[in-house]
Amino acid sequence: MSIAIMCSGGDAPGMNPAVKKFVDYANFNGKTPYFIYNGLEGLINDDIKKASHKDVSGILHKGGSIIGSSRSKRWYEKKYRQIAYENMKKRAIESIIVLGGDGSFRAMDIFCREFDVRFVGIPATIDNDIAGTEYCLGVDTALNVIRDASDKIRDTASTFKRGFVIETMGRECGYLCATSAIACGAELCMIPEVALDLNLAKKILLEEIKNGRNYVLCFIAEGVNKTDCMVEWMEKNLGLETRKSVLGYIQRGGNPTVFERLMAFEFVVRAVDILLRSEKSNVVIGYKEGKFLELDIEDVAGKKYHISRHILDMLNYIG
């Protein structure tokens, strides 16, 4: 049996360590590893190549993905999925490990129900918004990138006695924003999941400014879509000259942390083991309460992720 790996959707730090471990572990088990380059589009375009140790030498420390990634509108037409299957069949590839998010897993679920193909999903997205798992590959590095950037922004904020509104990624999920606000000592945090009481915030912060506070950091999730409004609110209500800093795509890059690399190894070993030693398919590996889980695709695809109550409660004590 040959096994392939691909990345789909947004890139995330930790993908390269996962790709490396995949090649090492597949070879260790006597199976032929293949790379599907450029995600679903590569599967359609027959951009598939046998992988060797040479291909993964020296990639552990790199962000992004050496095998690329993509999103594909063509995938949702049956004729292109048929082409993808034929590309796999001629190489005797029966199983795919997919590093991606909810949309990628749903796309593969459709594929595997139509054809004689098995897949295991590894959650890989800095948004950390996949149902059933507390951790997705990439989020730890992204949090450290945000921490580093916000610490530097704080230096300028305190020097010039300014307010700063720092916008984080996460789409409709506020995990990155909430966790960073707590870890970086922000005074304000706005996420889609919880409404911020601006009247109460104004009362508290004006009192603190009266007693010597000379800068304010506000973290805001991109899904709130009120970054510019918050800049105006801080200037008008707090009397602070305020700037915005949209961190953007730097959050997706960077050297994966030690934790990320180790978790990538763990995810891949479990994924390969499932494909080699059981009849299970269409499953996603999750991580919850310190344990790895095998999640049915129905419990992941299309389900909404909820930030833990513990993190949301901690937002009550920032400032």
List, by residue number, the catalytic residues: 127
Token couple for 115:
């054809």
Amino acid at the residue 96? I
Name the DSSP letter for residue 251.
Answer: G
Token couple for 95:
């199983």
Amino acid at the residue 52? S
Of 103, 116, 113, 99, the closest CA to residue 1 belongs to 116
Q: Which residues of 47-58 are buried (b: 16+ CB within 10 A; e: fewer)?
A: bbeebeeebbee
Distance between CA atoms of 99 and 86, rounded to whole angstroms?
22
DSSP letter string, 253-301: -SPPPHHHHHHHHHHHHHHHHHHHH-S--SEEEEEETTEEEEEEGGGTT
* Other Cβ atoms within 10 Å of 103 Cβ, number: 16
Distance between CA atoms of 3 and 111, rounded to whole angstroms?
16
Contact 139, 292 (CB under 8 A): no
